């Protein structure tokens, strides 16, 4: 599936095709499961812009519009805004799964550097989860990801448009 770039096809289905909730959950689980191969496929994932694509799905799931996004992420804005009250249990579960995807990808130095280059740390504070015991795990993973990104902060960051300058992902076409 990775060799045939199905990651991009999954992202395209999630972002552009508005699948029903059951299919959406299945596609996100597939995406997460594919990313467990992060060490073996790091170069392919970098080439396919997987980090950016996962972020695009997360932005869409959270309903974060251009007005709410940092400048470096406005090109990935959700089609429709969702207030915190409009986010459902299913949105939160999907967001938690996508946070898991980013956590898996952050386990390699090159991908962590890419996350820093595309200014992921500016996006993380925009991700909304309930502040209850049930959501401590995903909330903690977000915080840890932010701390990991802080470790590469001393390295020079490319211009804030670095995410947009990456080769186009299938979801952008």
Domain chopping of the chain, boundaries = 6-172
Q: Looking at residue 157, what is its pLDDT?
A: 54
pLDDT value at residue 35: 87
Task: Supply the pLDDT for residue 2.
Answer: 80
Q: What does the pLDDT read at residue 160? A: 41
Instruction: Give the pLDDT score at 161.
Output: 46
Q: What is the mean pLDDT of each run of 10 residues along the chain (173 residues)?
A: 81 80 88 87 88 92 94 92 94 93 93 93 95 95 93 62 50 50
Residue 8's pLDDT is what? Answer: 81
> What's the pLDDT score for residue 41?
85
Tally Cβ neighbours within 10 Å of residue 92.
Answer: 18
pTM score, whole prediction: 0.84
pLDDT of residue 156: 59
């Amino acid at each position: 599936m990775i060799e045939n770039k199905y990651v991009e096809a999954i992202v395209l289905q999630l972002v552009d095709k508005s699948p029903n909730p059951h299919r959406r959950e299945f596609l996100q689980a597939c995406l997460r499961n594919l990313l467990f191969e992060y060490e073996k496929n790091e170069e392919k994932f970098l080439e396919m812009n997987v980090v950016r694509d996962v972020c695009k799905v997360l932005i869409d799931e959270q309903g974060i519009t251009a007005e709410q996004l940092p400048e470096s992420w406005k090109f990935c804005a959700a089609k429709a805004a969702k207030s915190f009250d409009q986010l459902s249990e299913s949105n939160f579960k999907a967001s938690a799964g996508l946070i898991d995807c980013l956590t898996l990808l952050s386990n390699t130095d090159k991908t962590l550097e890419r996350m820093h280059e595309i200014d992921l740390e500016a996006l993380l504070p925009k991700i909304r989860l309930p502040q209850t015991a049930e959501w401590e795990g995903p909330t903690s993973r977000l915080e840890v990801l932010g701390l990991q990104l802080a470790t590469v902060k001393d390295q020079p960051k490319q211009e804030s448009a670095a995410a947009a300058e990456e080769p186009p992902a299938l979801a952008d076409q």
